[in-house]
Structure 1
Amino acid sequence: MSGPVRPYVITGGRSRPSRNVLALESLVSAAPTAGPGLGELPETEEGTLNREHLRILALCRKLLSVAEIAAHLRLPLGVVKVLIGDLWDLGAVHVIPPVPQAERLPATLLEEVLVGLRQLR
């Protein structure tokens, strides 16, 4: 299958992740207890994990960003966010959100520091 039908099927018809904090640069790693070989697979709302969920778990044995996972799977970013959200809700992955951009210091404060340093001479 190709086109818009396949992503719709992969996500069970959902277009938004359960958690709205997944940024492109959020880092994802599989939980130590997640993955095949651990008996029964966790259940999602739609049933057992699908093939894409398992591929994400396999990829995330090492730390990867959401964007990298989407590139490896060759799936749209929105689809990958929904799948990662499922795994996160199940406790199968750990997600590290991006560090917020530091606030810029006002130019006036920097000028005051410079004037103070010059007075120390």
Structure 2
Amino acid sequence: MSGPVRPYVITGGRSRPSGPDQELALESLISVDPAVLIDELLQRQPGLNREHRRILLLCRELLSIAEVAAHLGLPLAVVKVLVGDLRDLGAVQVLPPAVPPVPQAKRLPATLLEEVLVGLRQLR
């Protein structure tokens, strides 16, 4: 089988990051801890794969999870799992998104929508 590696192989069958604060937003910013020596980390942690190494190399500059996924050509869910692994090892810092999430819009009452519809019909 010479095709591309399936995402579940890259993540070891996991679909969500482990550890505290499991949810990682796609806007979360990732930065490699400057004190981390990548080659030394990879020798100490034999479970890290090629994609982990690529993330460490990419994130020497501040990047979002979405940008990392685009650079690697991997699905967002896979990158979130891999970043979660690196976060749990203390190799990367995950910063919250710079912009707070927009609250969900309030649902308008049906009576208001009916009044607007009646008004539009009267314009004919």
Same fold (TM over 0.5): yes
Counterparts of 1:11-22 in structure 2 under 5 Å? 11-18=11-18, 19-22=21-24
Residue correspondences, number: 98
The runs of at least 4 consecutive aligned structure 1 residues that moved more than 2 Å come to 33-43, 99-103
- Cα distance in 1 for partners of 2:102, 2:79 equals 28
- Cα distance in 1 for partners of 2:6, 2:82 equals 14
Q: TM-score normalised to the size of structure 2?
A: 0.70
Partner amino acid, structure 2, of 1:91: G
- Look up the SS of the partner of 1:41 in the other structure: helix
Partner amino acid, structure 2, of 1:7: P
Q: Determine what percentage of the aligned residue pairs are the same residue.
A: 64
Counterparts of 1:1-121 in structure 2 under 5 Å? 1-2=3-4, 6-18=6-18, 19-38=21-40, 41-43=43-45, 47-98=46-97, 99-101=99-101
Partner amino acid, structure 1, of 2:43: L
Corresponding residue for residue 121 of structure 2: none
Distance apart, 1:7 and its partner CA: 0.6
* Residue deviations 1:38-69 (CA, integer Å, cap 9, x gap): 365343xxx43100000000000000000000
Partner amino acid, structure 1, of 2:24: L
Q: TM-score normalised to the size of structure 1?
A: 0.71
Change (3 A) 1:39 1:58: closer
- Cα distance in 2 for partners of 1:59, 1:85 equals 15
Partner amino acid, structure 1, of 2:49: N
- Cα distance in 2 for partners of 1:71, 1:60 equals 13
Q: Which stretches in structure 1 are left out of the alignment for 5+ residues?
A: 104-121
- Cα distance in 2 for partners of 1:72, 1:54 equals 13
- Look up the SS of the partner of 2:94 in the other structure: strand
Partner amino acid, structure 2, of 1:70: A
Q: Which stretches in structure 2 are left out of the alignment for 5+ residues?
A: 104-124
- Cα distance in 2 for partners of 1:26, 1:17 equals 14
- Cα distance in 2 for partners of 1:73, 1:7 equals 12
Change (3 A) 1:78 1:51: same
